[in-house]
Structures are given as C-alpha cells and as structure tokens.
Amino acid sequence: MEAITQTKVDMQVHLGIYVSPDGDYTAYDRQRVAIEDVLKKYGTDHISGITGEFTREAQITNPQAYFLTHSW
C-alpha cells in the first residue's frame, strides 16, 4: 500500500487472511489486526476485496473457521 501511495499508480489489491484448519486463531488474529491497521492508514481506495483463505480440510475439520471466513 505504501508503494501504491508513493508512486500514485492506479492499482488495487485483494487482501487475504489464512485460516488455520486446526482451530488455532493466532495467525488469523495477527493478520486481521494488520489488515485493520492498513485500512486505517490507507483507506479503501486501492482495496479490491478482503477474503479468508481456507482449505477443504478446514471446511471438514473446523467448520467454525470456515463460517468465520464467510461472515464478512
């Protein structure tokens, strides 16, 4: 985002958060906070979307994580 801002390039990015299939939300929480910080600092003009990345295993072994990614 800093490079987009400095170069004034007309570009958008799609942000993603990895959701661990084992139910450990440490990485998810850290990434969510990082995305919130980016949005506060740069706004949404260059954001095309935000998604939760998950595996088929996460859908089966941890449905809570699966639904968490689809509740945005």
pLDDT grade, residue 71 (50/70/90)? very low
Give the mean model confidence (pLDDT) for residues 12-29: 80
Give the mean model confidence (pLDDT) for residues 18-44: 84
CB 10 within 8 A of CB 49: no
pTM for the full model? 0.66
CB 19 within 8 A of CB 61: no
Contacts of 5 (CB under 8 A, 6+ apart): 42, 46
Distance CA 59, CA 67 (A): 8
